[in-house]
Structure 1
Amino acid sequence: MTFEQLKTFLSVARMGGVRRAAEQLNVSQPAVSTRISGLETYLGTELFSRVSTGVVLTRQGVLLRNHAEQIMEIMERIKGEVMADDSVSSLLRLGVAETVAQTWLPDFIRELHSRFPRLKIEVSVDISVNLREMLLDRSLDLTMLMGPVSEYSVDNLDLPPFELSWYRPIDLRDPDLSTTPVITYNRNSRPHRELTQELRDRYGSSAQIFPTNSLSTGFEMVASGIGVGILPRVLGRRLVEEKRITTFDPGWQATPLRFTATFIGEPRNELIERAARIAQDVARDFGEAG
């Protein structure tokens, strides 16, 4: 019985099938099947039963899962307390919202690489709703998104919020928000939902919202005169300094964006948890410097 067999067994148990476990472990399906078969041969019992949706644990499989989880927890403690940082050579699949990608993400990756020089990092930039699904599907290890994610197996570390500001084209002196398009976050985001409700409450059904998946595109839309925007203050400073756009006050402000460093906390992974705490420190330093 090997560590890789137990690790693979737990992955199949959690994912409910060989294919999804193979994707999570980044190995082939035959490799997963071979490890499970070898473990069942060694123990002399079946660990899974096939069902229409995949596989489920047998009674003996449930008993093994309890022991395997304890073994994995001990292994994570050993890695955290004994293993040197420059010996860590695993893969970290990182998912970030664009707001983070355009602000302190480079500082975070630089700090990670400094502490774990052999760590391989894959970065995906997407909207928060997609990042949440990829995390729960275990195709991402750590996400920086508009959180928190309310799932029993998920841990959320609070990150400093992003303030939003109102921006208008230089030559649009007094925007009428009942008719002027408002450019903001994508349709499937919390800012879009809150803004839609606020605009309709204040200006009625004539208010228009132009959502975008790209913040940089949103700023360019404002600069080109398409409409006004409610976008992250930290990202708008450069364009204001360049006198391409300017801020204005419509008499009310949107709620700051709340972000979290979110990861699967059960089972515990020492590396991912440490990376999340590094992200928290880097984000805090970035906010204080700004």
Structure 2
Amino acid sequence: MTRINIEQLRTFLAVVRHGGVRRAAGVLNLTQPAATARIKNLEESLGCALFERRAGGMRLTKRGELLLAHAEKFEHLTELVERDVVDPEGVEGRLRLGVSETIAQCWLPDLVSRLHLLYPRLEIEFNVDISVHLREGLMNREIDLAILLGPVSEHRVNNIELPGFDLAWYAACSRSDDLETLDSKRPVLTYARNTRPFRELKEMLFERVGPDVPLFPSSSLSACFRLVEADLGVAVLPRALGREYIASGRIIEFDPGWVPAPLQFTASYLGEPKSHLIETAAKVALEVATAYVNDRNP
């Protein structure tokens, strides 16, 4: 009697989707020999080769293509069982989160806390990076859920729109009488160079102030606030992050008559393979983000 287990099928699907055993092993949190052994055992159980091993990689055989269709149906059935039957407290596994720094400094701790309450045995791994890198990680299946400046315009990706972040202008307290207009010689501190907020700000400064405004991009928003406090430039940054600095009298907010549009984030994940865990995490992200905004705007 042929015996096939769930983990063998999951490994088979991962190898197909990621193009090889090495990448599949990384996604499944396995060693490469362990992933190879699962594929070998599956082939022995079925009595046929599922892959052609070539110098350029692994390619499905005819039998492998037949198994793929059945494995995807089995995966979907397993997902339905996990959704409808399995107690969340018994769920094990790993969720790989990718988040922008704005999120990391605002409500990421609340999200991780909520997920731990819902899935106590779940291992949560998170990476803080700029949105362009998070998008790349998501599309390469190195990230399960990306909370980034979105949406991701790919047919494979599901996007849940999250509450936006208003931006505001900030300056050192010593500049309180000198901020009616932006000075073309005064540096402007903001998001990293290869981000959407940086590009939009650069275009607006060019139109409203001129082409010679020095821009100091940074991947660290907390560093931007400290540099503003030291009067090394002005900055346009999320108001949610600036409140603490304003309240402590370290910087001031000012209005030059315009401000870039709010930052719009999404919780984005690949629609296939379907995952109740990832979908739930995305919905929890929306709940946490909404609560964060409501708490600060009663």
Which residue of 245, 256, 261 maps to 1:250?
256
2:154 is aligned with 1:147: no
In 2, Cα distance between equivalents of 1:94 and 1:229: 28
Q: Tell me which residue corresponds to 1:165.
A: 168
The residue type equivalent to 1:186 in the other structure is A
List aligned pairs for 1:2-13, cutoff 5 A.
2-13=5-16
More divergent stretch after superposition (169-178 vs 245-254): 169-178
List aligned pairs for 1:179-218, cutoff 5 A.
179-218=185-224
In 2, Cα distance between equivalents of 1:222 and 1:199: 18
The residue type equivalent to 1:221 in the other structure is L
2:265 is aligned with 1:259: yes
In 2, Cα distance between equivalents of 1:70 and 1:159: 32
Q: Tell me which residue corresponds to 2:60.
A: 57
CA contact (8 A) 2:182 2:209 kept: no
In 1, Cα distance between equivalents of 2:183 and 2:65: 59
Q: Tell me which residue corresponds to 1:132.
A: 135
Residue 86 of structure 1: how far off its partner (Å): 1.0
Q: Tell me which residue corresponds to 1:92.
A: 95
Which residue of 188, 210, 229 maps to 1:223?
229
CA contact (8 A) 2:15 2:23 kept: yes
TM-score, normalised with respect to structure 2: 0.93
- Which of structure 1's runs of 4+ aligned residues deviate more than 3 A? 50-53
Root mean square deviation of aligned Cα? 1.3
List aligned pairs for 1:35-114, cutoff 5 A.
35-114=38-117
Gaps of 5+ in 1: none
In 1, Cα distance between equivalents of 2:287 and 2:238: 20
The residue type equivalent to 2:118 in the other structure is R
More divergent stretch after superposition (200-209 vs 91-100): 200-209
Give the total of aligned pairs: 290
CA contact (8 A) 2:149 2:263 kept: yes
Q: Tell me which residue corresponds to 2:17.
A: 14
In 1, Cα distance between equivalents of 2:57 and 2:234: 50
C-alpha offsets along residues 253-274 of structure 1, whole Å, 9 cap, x if unaligned?
1011010111122000111111
C-alpha offsets along residues 31-56 of structure 1, whole Å, 9 cap, x if unaligned?
11111122222223222223444222
The residue type equivalent to 2:103 in the other structure is V
In 2, Cα distance between equivalents of 1:221 and 1:180: 13
